[in-house]
Amino acid sequence: MRCRSAAAVLAWTLLVAGCQAAAPASDPVADLARETLASKLGVPQERISVVSVAAVDWLDGSLGCPQPGMSYLTVVSPGHKVMLEVDGRAYAVHEAKGRAIVCEQPTLASEAGGGGPPSQNRLMLTARMDLAKRLGVPVQEIEAAGSAPKTFADASLGCPEAGMQYAQVLTEGWVLTLRHGTRDFTYHADAHHVIPCPGIAAR
């Protein structure tokens, strides 16, 4: 009887140990991302849900989130883009070599529906000035014909240049439409870049 009891206890112990071993390990990258976002927002980590973790090769020290007026060391850094959610709102945390930053860029497209936030207005003005220079006309002749939020497949904003490498990361931004006379022109933009797409040639 004792042997039977001992065998039952041993079987139960092995079963529990097996279940514990099968439990999923914590993802250190996701944990770092949640900790970083929790610190920035001042919320408990328990309120932050991990949506996805994707491996990304960042092309410079900005980790895909360059700040105006800053310069960065151009070196490829293997890392991750972690998408998180807090109270129904999406956030992105970019990570490389244990360093993580909250990238504000994913919220830009949602701003575009708000009737022209300062960031969108600034990019539209940049596009108008660029087009005016390319066409050799006063900027007042360039009309802002419309804009629409768009998620680009990578940092090329849908307009890759030959020989260039781009971070393979979803990039939130806009498609801007400008008009001069009877001609329409399209620009693609994210938080910090405005590029004509397709390229523009003067008449």
Tell me: the pLDDT tens digits for 86-142?
887 888 899 999 999 998 654 433 333 334 454 667 788 888 888 988 888 888 888
Q: Say yes or no: 119 and 88 in one domain.
A: no
Q: Please indicate whether residue 78 or residue 4 has the higher confidence score (pLDDT).
A: 78
Domain final residue, candidates 71, 103, 135: 103
Q: What is the pLDDT of residue 6?
A: 53
**Calpha distance 83→48 (Å, rounded):** 10
What does pTM read for this prediction? Answer: 0.45
Does 16 have pLDDT greater than 80?
no
Q: Write out pLDDT tens, residues 130-189.
A: 898 888 888 888 888 888 888 988 888 888 888 888 778 888 888 999 998 888 999 998
Q: What is the pLDDT of residue 113?
A: 36
Q: Say yes or no: 149 and 96 in one domain.
A: no
Which has the closest alpha carbon to 121: 85, 75, 174, 72?
174
Does 83 have pLDDT greater than 80?
yes
Q: How many distinct structural domains can be found in the chain?
A: 2
**What residue numbers bound the domain in which 57 lies?**
24-103
Q: Write out pLDDT tens, residues 33-57.
A: 999 999 999 999 999 999 888 888 8
Report yes or no on 15 lying in a domain: no
- Cα–Cα distances in angstroms (integers) from residue 171 to residues 62, 83, 156, 188, in the given order: 14, 12, 9, 11
Report yes or no on 14 lying in a domain: no
Q: What is the pLDDT of residue 188?
A: 92
Q: Say yes or no: 115 and 177 in one domain.
A: yes
